[in-house]
Amino acid sequence: MLIPTTEVEAAEIIRAHAARAKPLSIIGGNTRSGYGNSVETDAILRSTGLSGIVSYNPGELVMTARAGTPVGEIEAALAANGQMMAFEPMDHRPLMGTSGEPTIGGVFAANVAGPRRLIAGAARDSLLGVRFVNGSGEIVKAGGRVMKNVTGLDLVKLMAGSHGTLGLLTEVTFRVPPRLKTEETIVVSGLNDAEAAAAMAAAMALSVDASGVAHLPLTVAWRFLGGNLPEGEATVLRIEGLDASVPVRAEKLAAAMSPYGRVARLNAEQSRRLWQEIRDVLPYADGTTRPVWRVSVAPSAGHQLVAALRLEAGVDAYYDWQGGLVLMRMEADPEAELIRRYIKALGGGHATLLRATGQARSATSAFQPETEAVAALARRVKEKLDPAGILNPGKMA
């Protein structure tokens, strides 16, 4: 376990491993341990020694922090100044059965986003600048007004979601908008998956700016809010904003949803708890290693995918992002080939294996296979930034 405390020290470690072509595992708080495919490496390089907020002026709505800074420290500083991370990053610990503290570098390296991604974008959409050490041990800075380097590569966006395969993030600069004052959630009960898809589409067409749109089938709905959601399936729609506007918009949304089914409303405290549980995949944080997939498809295709899979495999699922994000637990095998075949038939998308046994991971591609053209481009980028191929080999598609 290698834990550098300076960027220069991290560069020296990577340079030494590159010279010997010895693979390195790149981790932060290790809260996503097991994510990706298992590949044996020479050593583990951890970013937690690179910690602390470097620059934060709330008036500028921007924060710069070292990559190993705990997310809890970031959130506390933002909360004290009425600000937030708009992309609402998931905490993987309950689902993955891990401990430790998530780091801000890990959030961006995995491009983690929660329910608000629907309107706020992914983590990469808030990222303004980065510092990182590439696979040759070179310190690279990207961001600010100049978002591309001379090769034409947008290094800031490339690093977000690269899972440490292109470099060790050492510092990140990101937007921190004002915290939304309050929220309510409308609950429409009793809809099946197809009916819920229609209701969610109708809600998104309204001028109420719903910031969370999800459907919880009967198999999972009882697990949320300690079993205190209204009885039956729950289609949940979140309204956030100013104290004066939220009740008005929530009333308009409730009226529009009443033809679809029984309507109830959750107050701000209940709403915050519900969406945190949706974000963190609470129903499947069951202490098992049963395979859990994170599938991104067109919103209209999510329920069709699950319906097709239920005919051939044991599967349980719920939907976020208006149905476009399917959180899916398999009863036994990951069934990767089956899942990806149906995704392709429904117009395309991405399936990422979040959790499984070690044996299942060794036999399953955890990340969505890339098209030939995209794979060729990815190889060229990898060769440019990590020519020895030593960084996080298990996190490659």
Least confident stretch, 11-15, 144-148, 311-315: 144-148
Model pTM greater than 0.75? yes
What residues contact residue 376 under an 8 Å CB cut-off, 6+ apart?
none
Looking at the chain, which runs of residues are DSSP E strands?
24-27, 43-46, 53-57, 62-66, 127-134, 139-143, 167-175, 182-189, 210-216, 234-241, 262-266, 292-296, 315-320, 325-330, 350-355
- Contact (CB, 8 A) for 156 and 198: no
- Contact (CB, 8 A) for 176 and 216: no
Q: Is 123 helix (H, G, I), strand (E, B) or coil?
A: helix
Least confident stretch, 9-23, 91-105, 125-139, 365-379: 365-379
Say if residue 190's pLDDT is above 50: yes
Fold of 7-178: 3.30.465
Least confident stretch, 33-42, 106-115, 317-326: 33-42
Q: What is the pLDDT of residue 392?
A: 87
Q: What is the pLDDT of residue 368?
A: 87
Q: What is the pLDDT of residue 152?
A: 52
pLDDT confidence bin for 146, thresholds 50/70/90: very low
Whole-angstrom distance, CA of residue 64 vs CA of residue 49 = 16
Whole-angstrom distance, CA of residue 37 vs CA of residue 394 = 5
- Contact (CB, 8 A) for 238 and 296: no
pLDDT confidence bin for 151, thresholds 50/70/90: very low
Q: What is the pLDDT of residue 34?
A: 75
Q: Which of the two residues, 185 and 367, has the higher pLDDT score?
A: 185
pLDDT digits (tens, 9 = 90+) for 31-77: 988 777 666 787 999 999 999 999 999 999 999 999 999 999 999 99
Q: What's 282-372's CATH class? A: alpha beta
Say if residue 361's pLDDT is above 90: no
Q: Region 282-301: what's the mean pLDDT?
A: 96
Q: What is the pLDDT of residue 147?
A: 36
Q: Is 180 helix (H, G, I), strand (E, B) or coil?
A: coil
DSSP annotation of 224 reads G
pLDDT digits (tens, 9 = 90+) for 203-222: 999 999 999 999 999 999 99
Q: Region 217-233: what's the mean pLDDT?
A: 96
Q: Which of the two residues, 142 and 193, has the higher pLDDT score?
A: 193
pLDDT digits (tens, 9 = 90+) for 368-377: 888 899 889 9
pLDDT digits (tens, 9 = 90+) for 13-44: 999 999 999 999 999 999 988 777 666 787 99
Say if residue 99's pLDDT is above 50: yes
Say if residue 397's pLDDT is above 60: no
Averaged pLDDT score across all residues of the chain? 93
DSSP annotation of 70 reads B
Q: What is the pLDDT of residue 183?
A: 98
- Contact (CB, 8 A) for 170 and 131: yes
Q: Region 102-107: what's the mean pLDDT?
A: 97
Least confident stretch, 119-123, 148-152, 352-356: 148-152
List, in sequence order, every residue forming a beta bridge with 134; answer none if it has no partner. Answer: 167
Where, residue-wise, is CATH 3.30.70.2190 in the chain?
A: 182-279
Where, residue-wise, is CATH 3.30.465.10 in the chain?
A: 7-178
Say if residue 301's pLDDT is above 50: yes
Least confident stretch, 119-133, 319-333, 364-378: 364-378
CATH for 182-279?
3.30.70.2190
Whole-angstrom distance, CA of residue 341 vs CA of residue 72 = 39
Whole-angstrom distance, CA of residue 139 vs CA of residue 118 = 34
User: For residue 161, which of 53, 66, 35, 282 has the smallest C-alpha distance?
Assistant: 35
